[in-house]
Structure 1
């Protein structure tokens, strides 16, 4: 008797479709224990079933016992149970035309590496908070408009080939020590200029002109 003539093997190769309940999560080879009216079977998650099965889910099972059974859809789940979409490696989500929108009361992205490539980007937020160890920005031009800018740093280092700053009101610097050095010329000009020192005022140069 050939293998295909065995009644048991013929029964195992018959297509099977049924509803069942997931009893246990996957442990090995992505197998799930599914309880049906015909008994309990081990089933894999079908490639088209993006929703990861959870214990207690009402699922649709299809396939055969010889080649294996597959969970093709999640039919029902407790409303309070979490939902997890699990995609295979190298997956992508996109549309060939139009816009793609993600909407949620709270959106969280968790990744070891995040890359964003766009021609233009717009960010509108009431509050933005960033926490990290190191940040590097490379822009051809940066324009910042705000009502209040506060910066706190243990150490601030800036390098530029050319710098210009215009302050309409008061420009005030308070420091324990201030050191201004110019390789060529330093100019201080004002309608009223006052220099005050508690202990010492020193002017040193080859020529000193007053008046």
Structure 2
């Protein structure tokens, strides 16, 4: 009996076959011949050419129920034609790999949760444009190295406590501070040096000390 005659019968049965062609519809070679087949919705593994599959043959057509065997070393691919939702009610979802786990999205990748934890010995992030919105940031690091063309910071208050501060501005460039009040205090020594030094005040300029040396 040919595959066409079997499909015309009212009997529904299962049979194994080999995938000959993949695409929107599969070509599967059964014992009775080659026929067109569709992947069953419960068959998440995408069949490949040469795979051994289990098919359900019924009057409405042939459905691939499962992939039984494939080429040695070939990856197992889970694929759907629409949205895919993996849900665990009252439990966890764990994805493990002995080598690497990749998460890729053609448009967007979203991670949402009450708490997000990322732990790794080494990491790298490459983002063309980054927007961050948060209420609190706490970081404990040993060393930070930042290289940027421009950096703009707008803050309501900035408090820094450090042991040593070194700032170097290239020659012939500008280091400018504008404020309503500037208070500079040194426990031991305050040194101001320059090729030229100008101190001007619109109302009052005062120099006070036990000893004042000019010249």
Q: Normalised by the size of structure 2, how large is the TM-score?
A: 0.87
Query: Please, which runs of 5 or more residues in structure 1 have no aligned partner?
Result: 1-7
The 5-angstrom pairing of residues 197-208 of structure 1 reads: 197=194, 199-205=195-201, 206-208=203-205
Q: Rate the CA distance shift 1:10–1:67 in 2: closer, same or farther, 3 A.
A: closer
- Cα separation, 2, equivalents of 1:121 and 1:83: 29
Q: Rate the CA distance shift 1:154–1:61 in 2: closer, same or farther, 3 A.
A: same
Structure 1 match to 2:212: none
- Cα separation, 2, equivalents of 1:139 and 1:10: 61
- Cα separation, 2, equivalents of 1:10 and 1:47: 20
Q: How many residues align?
A: 197
* Superposed displacement of residue 10, structure 1: 8.6
Q: Which of 123, 127, 130 in structure 2 is aligned with 1:132? A: 127
* Superposed displacement of residue 87, structure 1: 2.3
Contact map agreement 1:13 1:67 (CA 8 A) in 2 = no
* Superposed displacement of residue 14, structure 1: 2.0
Q: Rate the CA distance shift 1:103–1:61 in 2: closer, same or farther, 3 A.
A: same
Contact map agreement 2:15 2:57 (CA 8 A) in 1 = no
Structure 2 match to 1:19: 16
- Cα separation, 2, equivalents of 1:9 and 1:173: 85
- Cα separation, 2, equivalents of 1:52 and 1:10: 24
- Cα separation, 2, equivalents of 1:89 and 1:10: 28
Q: Rate the CA distance shift 1:180–1:44 in 2: closer, same or farther, 3 A.
A: same
- Cα separation, 2, equivalents of 1:36 and 1:108: 36
- Cα separation, 2, equivalents of 1:118 and 1:15: 46
- Cα separation, 2, equivalents of 1:77 and 1:174: 64
| 103-112 vs 47-56, which moves further | 103-112
Q: Normalised by the size of structure 1, how large is the TM-score?
A: 0.89
SS class of match (1:194): coil
Query: Please, which runs of 5 or more residues in structure 2 have no aligned partner?
Result: 209-215
Structure 2 match to 1:186: 182
SS class of match (1:124): coil
SS class of match (1:181): coil
Structure 2 match to 1:72: 65
Contact map agreement 1:21 1:34 (CA 8 A) in 2 = yes
Structure 1 match to 2:211: none
Structure 2 match to 1:109: 103
- Cα separation, 1, equivalents of 2:26 and 2:7: 24
- Cα separation, 2, equivalents of 1:42 and 1:203: 91
